[in-house]
Amino acid sequence: MPSRRRTLLKVIILGDSGYVNKKFSNQYKATIGADFLTKEVQFEDRLFTLQIWDTAGQERFQSLGVAFYRGADCCVLVYDVNSMKSFDNLNNWREEFLIQASPSDPENFPFVVIGNKIDVDGGNSRVVSEKKARAWCASKGNIPYFETSAKEGINVEEAFQCIAKNALKSGEEEEIYLPDVIDVANSGQTRSTGCEC
Amino acid sequence: MIADRAEDEEKWLAAGMTGLQQNAFHMHRALDSNNLRDALKYSAQMLSELRTSKLSPHKYYVLYMRAFDELRKLEMFFKEEARRGCSVIDLYELVQHAGNILPRLYLLCTVGSVYIKSKEAPAKDVLKDLVEMCRGIQHPVRGLFLRSYLSQVSRDKLPDIGSDYEGDGDTVVDAVDFVLQNFTEMNKLWVRMQHQGPAREKEKREKERSELRDLVGKNLHVLSQIEGVDLEMYKETVLPRVLEQVVNCKDEIAQFYLMECIIQVFPDEYHLQTLDVLLGACPQLQPSVDIKTVLSQLMERLSNYAASSAEVLPEFLQVEAFSKLSNAIGKVIEAQVDMPTIGVVTLYSSLLKFTLHVHPDRLDYADQVLGACVKKLSGKGKIEDNKATKQIVALLSAPLEKYNDIVTALKLSNYPRVMEYLDNETNKVMATVIIQSILKNKTQISTAEKMEALFELIKGLIKDLDGIPDDELDEDDFKEEQNSVARLIQMLSNDDPEEMFKIICTVRKHVLTGGPKRLLFTVPPLVFSSLKLVRQLQGQEENPFGDDLSTTPKKIFQLLNQTIEALSSIPVPDLALRLYLQCAEAANDCELEPVAYEFFTQAYILYEEEISDSKAQVTAIHLIIGTLQRMHVFGVENKDTLTHKATGYSAKLLKKPDQCRAVYACGHLFWVDDQENMKDGDRVLICLKRALRIANAAQQMSNAARGSTGSVTLFVEILNKYLYFFEKGNPQITVASIQSLIELITNEMQSESTTPDPATDAFFASTLRYIEFQKQKGGAVGEKYEPIKA
């Protein structure tokens, strides 16, 4: 029986550019705190429940801080392909996440990067090329990269599939509390750096 | 004390975390072995850690988040249990056996979430039950977090339109009711904090409240995300009930924060359609609430909305947004007698930006806003507050940014009146902003009247305000600002010469009041702008009736003469001399001999009386010679006088080499290519011979003083002049004279007393190469050069 803890995944979405779980709208609407949603994803024969904390985009009200970063299984970084600043900020977001969430193995923590709004103005206003984005992802330990359109949310599903796949690979090593449950035979296995999709 | 407290808090948090993790571990084992009883027991123990009162909201949140994550695993287990056939209703009953109320309610909310998902009972009933049960916790911090938990787990299970939980009597109304009720209860808990505990801990309490505010505000965000909350429902239910709570809670912190939330989380068009209601709430808030910030945020949002697309503008007109906002601001300012100037200006600045975006065609609205601002500022004298003056600059810059055209702003009668309230320093900053706008947009100021108005606005840069020179001004800053004034004057233009003349007269009138330091920067561009007008008129037929009123070059020249004279107060004779010569040349092109002669006379007087530095003299004399050479308007007599003077000046320069160069340059005065009557070969030759004599004398002087003759550069230069006039066909310049000059130079160069100079050698060599080159050209030129032996 698959471990319950490995089919329940906590995902944090960060970045200057919003979307993913929100319906895209040009209308400005501030977000207060993080938006919390659950989503079920089928990967291979397993059903994963993702708890998604989405704070990407718009102005942030966060009077209580970011304690919700802790215990995350994956962090999705979103930027707007039409805004260089949002791309430049990915690094800040990544570092801020690693500091605040302080995962046990920051080098191999699974991130996913999403380039958003590729369809705006028929792609004419795009300023961050796919190549540039992929190069950045490669430099940060082969972070999987996806591009999504604002209107239709294409590839969002693939991104979530990837998160599930990542979790399946790295899931065996997540037990932290009380060492007597760790399977000694598994402890020597090589760590993955994220999926290749 | 504070450090101790923080340390203690860390310890308490660590202890809480350990307790929580231990129980979570046992809960996991119970879950893995499907032991429901143990799972409930340990989860309740785990949740008991949240009963602490020792942690600040920040630290409590860390503990809460940890419990939240653990409860997700329990929730999964409950789901599986339900799938395995365990009744959710039984689970719902079962968890209520937990001993303590706080763990019991957390567990209840967790099962409740599964309960709604199972659809075994209507969502609205479960939600209603939960939101009522949460009343059991009246401790503000614990209560707020518990209700926040309820809000989070129910977030995606509300019977919203299009959701899985709608239907069977469950409607979006139930969803909205539930969130509104939770919001109201949370706000009450939050406000109550203010009144608990000793008065001396007010500051600490307010800090804690500030940390907790987003838990309350989150409910408004949830409301804004509910699909079914359309404009109608927002207008009829959501906004009135939210505002009712905001107004009735009578709490300054809550009112300010929640108004900000309302403005930020709901869509623009909702705000537009409910302006009356939202603005109507403002006067009902506590007097200490910072309403100006609230209103400014609202207007900023609406301005951005208006700027986003022209399609939305009719909406603004339809609801008469401007007059509503304008009224509301008036009321707020009236009600808050003590509002500082910055508050007043900020409000009007936001309103002005709003009207500029929404009603770009209604200048009267903009003027109305400025007028209201003036009214409020009147009687306060110059504004001292730095931030307030900055706001005024923002206020006054808004129309410039919107229209990119100062001329539009000049139509605003209250614009200069607002500027009156700026201190001298800020007045200048504003003047610079205005000029930059004109320069950037190349705005044409089309009438003297507008120019007058413009100079009224920028007078801070034109003259010393209050008649007191500002000694403390940084030199570079002064140059910068005066240069921008100069650029403004330089770009004056108008196709109608009559109007242009009036504009120049206006500018001149103001500029001449600027004092010596400014004239240096402003007179030259004024002169050139006037000359531009002369060029414009030149070639036009003079009015045959000699109408005194019409603009003629003569009139402009008279004005120019007086304008340049103003420079004598600085004094800058070399600049004045250049300007006189420039005018003389323009007069020459207008065939005005007496005028041109007068300008030359002025230049000569300056040369004789004011320019005493020998370097400046050299520069001046070459300018004089160059200009005089281009003059064709002079009759023989005038020409002779001026030429004679110029050659006289040349021969009297201090240094021999300077003398020599000026004298051979005078040669050009007697030989003008395109004028047959201006080719006096004899006098050219006299000049060149005289230059040779001076060069000789220079060598001898050098020999006597230093023991070496110095270089032969002067001779090579003179040789080049010989070649020039030879080529031009001056009959006095013969092959023999050139030949002997070449020999002279060759001998001198070989002489032992001559200082070797590679530059001169190269100069001479290339001169000889030129002769060879001309020879090889053949034809008439080649034939002419042929006899010269290099």
ipTM of the complex: 0.83
Q: Are A77 and A94 in contact (CB under 8 A)?
A: yes
Give the C-alpha separation, B609 to B629, whole Å. 23
What pLDDT shows up at residue B670? Answer: 93
Q: What average pLDDT does this structure show over A27-44?
A: 80
Chain centroid to CA B407: 19
Q: Do B69 and A177 touch (CB under 8 A)?
A: no
Q: B205 falls in which pLDDT band (50, 70, 90)?
A: very high
Best interface-test mutation with A: which of B152, B266, B315 has the largest number of A CBs within 10 A?
Answer: B152
Q: Higher confidence at residue B764 or residue A169?
A: B764
Q: Please, which pLDDT band fits residue A178 given cuts at 50, 70 and 90?
A: low
Asked whether the beta carbons of residue A51 and residue B31 sit closer than 8 angstroms, the reply is no
Lowest mean pLDDT among B77-91, B99-113, B536-550: B536-550
What residues of A are in contact with residue B214 (Cβ under 8 Å)? 32-33, 61-64
CB contacts of B69 in chain A (<8 Å) are: 10, 71
Give the C-alpha separation, B748 to B256, whole Å.
Answer: 95
Q: Is the pLDDT of residue B16 over 60?
A: yes
Q: Following CA atoms B185, B187, B193, B196 in sequence, which dihedral angle do they give, to the nearest 10 degrees?
A: -60
Contact (CB, 8 A) for A133 and A80: no
Q: Of A28, A32, A68, which is closest to B218 when you measure between CB atoms?
A: A32
Say what the pLDDT of residue A21 is.
46
pLDDT of B400 over the 80 cut:
yes
Of A4, A32, A65, the CB nearest to B73: A4
In this complex, do B66 and A70 lie within 8 Å of one another by their Cβ atoms?
yes
**Contact criterion met (CB below 8 Å) for B684 and B715:** no
| Average pLDDT estimate for B331-350 | 87
Give the number of other CB atoms < 10 A from CB of residue B599. Answer: 26
* A35–B215 C-beta distance less than 8 A: no
The reply to whether residue B58 touches residue A36, judged by beta carbons under 8 angstroms, is no
Question: Shortest Cα distance from A153 to chain B (angstroms)?
Answer: 18
pLDDT for A183: 41
Sequence letter at residue B703: N
Express each pLDDT in B404-427 by its tens digit: 888 888 889 999 999 988 888 888
| Pairing assessment for the beta strands A35-43 and A46-54 based on DSSP bridges | antiparallel
A30 and B264 within 8 Å at the Cβ level: the answer is yes
Q: Where are the domains of chain B?
A: 1-118, 122-266, 289-441, 444-465+475-540+549-570
At residue A57, does pLDDT exceed 70? no
Distance from the A74 Cα atom to the nearest Cα atom in chain B, whole angstroms: 14
Give the minimum alpha-carbon distance from B400 to chain A in angstroms, rounded to a whole number. 27
Predicted local confidence at residue B377, as pLDDT: 87
| Apex B607 CA angle, B604 and B610, nearest 5 | 130
- The mean predicted confidence, pLDDT, of chain B is 91
Residue of higher predicted confidence among B548 and B505: B505
Asked if pLDDT for residue B168 goes beyond 80, the answer is no
Calpha distance B382→B374 (Å, rounded): 12
Helix, coil or strand: residue A80: strand
Give the right CATH number for B289-441 from 1.10.287, 1.25.40, 3.30.460, 1.10.10.
Answer: 1.25.40
How far B296 CA sits from the closest chain A CA (Å)? Answer: 16
* Region of A58 on the Ramachandran plot (φ > 0 left; ψ -120 to 50 alpha; else beta): left
CB contact under 8 A, B264 and A29: yes
Cβ neighbours, 10 Å, residue B787: 12
Residue A165 lies in a domain: yes
CB spacing of A32 vs B214 below 8 angstroms: yes
Q: Which residue has the higher pLDDT, A176 or B345?
A: B345
**Structural domain boundaries, residue A10:** 4-186
The reply to whether A173 falls in a domain is yes
Confidence (pLDDT) at A161: 87
> A146 has which bridge partners?
A114
pLDDT computed for residue A23 by the predictor: 47
Of A37, A59, A64, the CB nearest to B57: A64
Q: Report the C-alpha dihedral over residues B766, B771, B777, B778, rounded to 10 degrees.
A: -170
Q: Which of A1, A3, A4, A10 to mutate to test the interface with B (most CBs of B within 10 A)?
A: A4
In this model, does residue A181 exceed pLDDT 70? Answer: no
Amino acid at B181: Q
Please list the helix, strand and coil fractions of chain B in percent, rounded to the nearest 5, in that order: 75, 0, 25
- In the predicted model, what is the mean pLDDT of residues B729-745? 93
Q: Which of B58, B76, B213 sits opposite A65 (nearest CB)?
A: B58
In chain B, the residue whose alpha carbon lies closest to the alpha carbon of A6 is: B73
The rounded Cα B510 to chain-centroid distance in angstroms is 27
Residue A96 has pLDDT above 50, yes or no: yes
Residue type, B408: T
Give me the pLDDT at residue A171, please. 53
The answer to whether the beta carbons of residues B497 and B533 sit under 8 Å apart is yes
Taking only the tens place, the pLDDT of each residue in B208-237 is 999 999 999 999 999 998 989 999 999 999
Residue A152, in any domain of the structure: yes
Residue A18's pLDDT band (boundaries 50, 70, 90)? low
Of A89-98, B158-167, B366-375, the one with minimum mean pLDDT is B158-167
Q: How far apart are CA B114 and CA B107, in angstroms?
A: 11
User: Two tokens at B9?
Assistant: 């808090």
SS3 content of chain A, % helix, strand, coil (to 5): 35, 25, 45
When pLDDT is averaged across residues B105-127 and rounded to a whole number, the result is 94
**Nearest in space to B332 (alpha carbons), one of B365, B379, B293, B374:** B293
Residue A125 lies in a domain: yes
Count of structural domains, chain A? 1
Select the residue of A63, A67, A68 nearest B210 (Cβ to Cβ): A63
Q: What does the pLDDT read at residue B632? A: 92
Other CB atoms within 10 A of residue A22 CB: 17
| Residue whose tokens read 């995606």 | B156
The predicted pLDDT at position B754 comes to 78
Measured from the Cβ of residue B3, the count of other Cβ atoms closer than 10 Å reads: 7
Distance (Å, whole) CA B134 – CA B150: 9
Dist CA B107 CA B99 (whole Å): 12
Instruction: Kindly report the backbone phi and psi dihedral angles of residue B446, in degrees, each rounded to the nearest multiple of 5, phi listed first.
Output: -85, -20
**What whole-number distance in Å separates Cα of residue B207 and Cα of residue B204?**
5
- Per-residue pLDDT, B714: 93
Can you tell me the distance from the alpha carbon of A96 to that of A55, in angstroms, rounded to the nearest whole number?
Answer: 13
pLDDT of residue A152: 66
Place of tokens 């201006």: B678
Q: What percent of chain B has pLDDT over 70?
A: 97
A8:B73 CB<8 A: yes
Measure B233 CA to nearest chain A CA, in Å: 18
Tell me if A67 and B61 make a contact (CB, 8 A cut-off): yes
Q: What value does the mean pLDDT take over residues A49-61? A: 76
CA B758 to mean position of chain CA atoms? 55
Is residue A40 scored above 90 in pLDDT? no
Chain B residues in contact with A31 (beta carbon < 8 A): 221, 265
Higher pLDDT, B167 or B368: B368
Evaluate if residue A193 carries a pLDDT over 50: no
Q: How far lies B493's CA from each of A140, A149, B497, B530, in Å?
A: 60, 52, 9, 10
AA letter at B530: S
* Residue A196 pLDDT: 36
Lowest mean pLDDT among B1-15, B222-236, B246-260: B1-15
Q: How many angstroms away from the CA of A67 is the closest CA of chain B?
A: 5
Instruction: With CA atoms as reference, report the closest residue to A29 among B596, B733, B573, B221.
Output: B221
Beta-ladder partners of A79: A115
Confidence band (pLDDT; 50, 70, 90) for B3?
low
d(CA B365, CA B77): 64
Using the beta-carbon criterion (under 8 Å), do B25 and A31 form an inter-chain contact? no
A179 — pLDDT class (breaks 50, 70, 90): very low
Q: What is the mean pLDDT of residues B243-267?
A: 95
State yes or no: pLDDT of B546 exceeds 80: no
Report the alpha-carbon distance of residue B92 to residue B102 in Å, rounded.
Answer: 15
- State pLDDT tens for residues B379-395: 777 888 888 889 899 99
CA-CA distance, B264 to B760, in Å (whole number)?
A: 79
Count of pairs with CB atoms under 8 A, one residue in A, one in B: 91
B72 closest CB neighbour out of A8, A68, A177 = A8
- Token pair, residue B116, equals 């709604």
Tell me which chain A residues have a C-beta less than 8 angstroms from the C-beta of B223. Answer: none
Q: According to DSSP H, which parts of B122-201 are helical? A: 123-133, 140-154, 172-193
Percent of chain A with pLDDT over 70: 71
**Terminal Cα distance for chain B, rounded:** 101
Task: Return the pLDDT at B576.
Answer: 96
Reported confidence tier of residue B510, pLDDT bands at 50, 70, 90: very high
Interatomic CA distance for residues B302 and B300, integer angstroms = 5
Tell me if A134 is assigned to some domain. yes
B234-248, B606-620, B652-666, B693-707: the lowest-pLDDT one? B693-707
Q: Which residues contact A59 (CB under 8 A, 6 or more apart)?
A: A30, A31, B264
Token pair recorded at residue B624? 């004089």
Rounded CA-CA distance B392/A25 in Å is 35
* Closest CB to B213 among A3, A38, A63: A63
- Beta bridge partners, A147, equal A115
Q: Is residue A195 part of a domain?
A: no
Is pLDDT of B547 > 70? no
DSSP β-bridge partners for residue A78: A15, A114
Quote the DSSP letter at residue B234. Answer: I
Looking at the predicted structure, is the pLDDT value of residue B467 above 80? no
Handedness of CA A176, A182, A184, A187 (dihedral sign): negative
Is residue A156 domain-resident? yes
Is B230 an 8 Å CB contact of chain A? Answer: no
CA dihedral B613, B615, B616, B620 (to 10 degrees): 130
Distance CA B370, CA B486 (A): 30
Nearest to B717 by CA among B670, B643, B662: B662
**Helix, strand or coil, per DSSP, at residue A39:** strand
* Amino acid B659: pLDDT: 95
* Distance set, CA B439 to CA B404, B433, B522 (Å): 10, 10, 16
- Give chain A positions within 8 Å (CB) of B217: 32-33, 61
A41 located within any domain: yes
Nearest Cβ partner for B267 among A8, A29, A35 = A29
Contact across the interface for B215 and A33, Cβ inside 8 Å: yes
Q: Which of B182, B90, B166 is nearest to B128 (CA)?
A: B182
**Residues B113/B158, Cβ–Cβ less than 8 Å:** no
**Rounded to an integer, what is the distance from CA A163 to the centroid of its chain?**
7
Best mutation target, B214, B220, B227, B315, to test chain A (most A CBs within 10 A)? B214
User: With an 8 Å Cβ cutoff, are A27 and B73 in contact?
Assistant: no
Q: Nearest-CA neighbor of B326 among B274, B275, B258?
A: B275
Q: How do residues B25-57 score in pLDDT, each as one tens digit?
A: 999 999 999 999 999 999 999 999 999 999 999
B265 at A interface, C-beta within 8 A? yes
Phi, psi (rounded to 5 degrees) for B229: -80, 85
Contact A65 B76 (CB under 8 A): no
The model's confidence at residue B629, banded by pLDDT at 50, 70 and 90, is very high
- In whole angstroms, what is the distance from residue B747 CA to residue B739 CA? 12
B214-228, B335-349, B640-654: the lowest-pLDDT one: B335-349
Q: Is the pLDDT of residue A104 over 50?
A: yes
Question: Which of A13-22, A186-195, B36-45, B330-339 has the lowest average pLDDT?
Answer: A186-195
Predicted confidence (pLDDT) at residue A182 exceeds the cutoff of 50: no
What is the average pLDDT score of chain A? 77
The pLDDT of residue A187? 37
Burial class of residue B757 in the structure, from the number of CB atoms within 10 Å of its CB (0-12 exposed, 13-18 middle, 19+ buried): middle
Identify the pLDDT of residue A158: 83
Whether the CB of B123 is below 8 Å from some CB of chain A: the reply is no
**Helix or strand or coil: residue A12?**
strand
Residue corresponding to tokens 């000789």: B696
pLDDT confidence band for B736 (50 / 70 / 90): very high
> Can you tell me the mean pLDDT for A116-144?
90
Q: Report pLDDT for A25.
A: 46
A92 pLDDT more than 90? yes
CA of B11, closest CA in chain A: separation in Å?
17
Region of B55 please: left (phi>0), alpha (psi -120 to 50) or beta. beta
Torsion of CA B254, B260, B266, B272, to 10 degrees: 120
Count other C-beta atoms under 10 Å from residue B718's C-beta. 25
